[in-house]
Amino acid sequence: MPKIDYLRISLIDKCNFRCQYCMPEGTKFDYVLNHELLTNQEIVTLVRQVFIPLGFTKFRLTGGEPLLRPGLVDLVKDIAQLPETEDLALTTNAFLLKDLAQPLYNAGLRRINISLDSLNPKTFDRITGNHGRSRWQQTWEGIQTAHQVGFNPLKLNVVVIPGLNDTEVLDLAELSIKRQWHVRFIEFMPIGNPELFGDKAWIDSAELRHQIRRKWGLMESNIKGNGPADVFQIPGAQGTLGFISQMSECFCDRCNRVRLSADGWLRPCLLNETGQIDLKTALRSSVDLAELQTQISQLLLLKPEINFKERDSGTDGKYTRTMSQIGG
């Protein structure tokens, strides 16, 4: 079992996109009310006085769309400057990144993951649920700005959906050749909207690798990340290709992370609907932080028992929360 030292912090459950696989249009979401969101101060208290003493050193800010969160730059600064923070990263859809990339970099952020499911503006708008003026160009400019500002590694996340963007796998993989960009293909997980894409909504990573290998060749990379991706490289490419294959190859035994939702629930696993700790209520009722550490240590012990095969679907037998609500 790996050391559990990585906390993903969801800053907000709202989003300015409606990706079909995450927050599909027409689905009603009960958003967390503003006063239920953890404040910046509460997040920093948890990081500094609860998680760091438990050995956590890696933090990722996510959502929903974290760039929508007021006070994001200050929060980045507060976490980045803690001496124990070895790694701080952000996951975003990049729509608002053009203006925020430099302030975030100045605040100490160095690593960024950006979702980009298509290079074709029409397909992009279809996937992200956009009907007005295309949002692709502004997203692309956000990515370019992040590159120019110096974010490294810059990772691009692609969820490959049959019939939507599967014909673009080679075009997206090609982005890793000339720039030091790391493209990561993620198998769709039937979370939140299990019926959305029918029985088999993902394409096995092995099949994607096969396509890429046929065109350029593919070798295992010695650049490895913190997470569950299997990392490869097109020979001679500057960047890498990662494959996150939670559907075709269970990697729960390698998982080193826990997740904190925007309203302060700590969950040991993406798939776990029970066994969570309500850290917001604990903080607001002045529970002793040492007591919280004890509760969290016990929760971490539970983690290895939960995996995709023996998943806990909660009391009503359904995954009611989407990635945007849990914090992807």
Classify 141 as helix, strand or coil.
Answer: helix
Alpha-carbon span 206 to 21, nearest angstrom: 21
Site membership for ligand SF4, residue 130 (CB under 6 A): no
Site membership for ligand SAM, residue 15 (CB under 6 A): yes
Write the CB contacts of 176 (distance below 8 Å, at least 6 apart in sequence).
182, 183, 233, 234, 237, 238, 239, 240, 241
In the sheet that holds 257-260, the strands lie side by side as 219-220, 230-233, 241-244, 181-187, 154-160, 111-115, 87-92, 58-62, 6-10, 257-260, 265-267, 277-278
- Tell me which of 63, 225, 227, 268 binds ligand SAM, using CB under 6 A: 63
User: Nearest distance from residue 21's CB to ligand SF4, in Å?
Assistant: 7
What are the start-end ranges of the E strands in 161-225? 181-187, 219-220
C-alpha dihedral sign at 232, 98, 123, 249: positive
- Give the x-and-dash track for 143-182 against ligand SAM (CB under 6 A): --------------x-x-----------------------
Q: How far is CA 184 from the centre of its chain?
A: 12
- Tell me which of 17, 59, 202, 243 binds ligand SF4, using CB under 6 A: 17
- Tell me which of 97, 191, 212, 260 binds ligand SAM, using CB under 6 A: 191
Alpha-carbon span 144 to 116, nearest angstrom: 12
By Cβ distance, which residue is nearest to ligand SAM?
A: 328
Restricted to residues 84-113, the positions that interact with ligand SAM (CB under 6 A) are 91-93
Could you say which of ligand SAM, ligand SF4, none residue 23 binds, taking C-beta under 5 to 8 angstroms by partner kind? Answer: ligand SF4
Site membership for ligand SAM, residue 245 (CB under 6 A): no
Q: Which stretch binds ligand SF4 (CB under 6 A): 58-66, 77-85, 133-141, 148-156?
A: 58-66
User: Cα–Cα distances in Å, from 254 out to 164, 195, 326?
Assistant: 30, 28, 20
- Tell me which of 20, 40, 62, 245 binds ligand SAM, using CB under 6 A: 62
Site membership for ligand SAM, residue 242 (CB under 6 A): no
Residues contacting ligand SAM: total by CB under 6 A: 19
297, 168 contact by CB (below 8 A): no
- Compute φ and ψ for 55, nearest 5 degrees: 100, 5
Site membership for ligand SAM, residue 324 (CB under 6 A): yes
Classify 224 as helix, strand or coil.
Answer: coil
Write the CB contacts of 106 (distance below 8 Å, at least 6 apart in sequence).
none
Q: Which is nearer to ligand SF4, 307 or 324 (CB)?
A: 324
268, 255 contact by CB (below 8 A): no
- Tell me which of 40, 64, 261, 296 binds ligand SF4, using CB under 6 A: 64
User: Nearest distance from residue 290's CB to ligand SAM, in Å?
Assistant: 32
Q: Which is nearer to ligand SAM, 52 or 136 (CB)?
A: 136
- Give the x-and-dash track for 135-174 against ligand SF4 (CB under 6 A): ----------------------------------------
The CA dihedral of 66, 205, 237, 153, to the nearest 10 degrees, is 20
Q: Which is nearer to ligand SF4, 18 or 48 (CB)?
A: 18
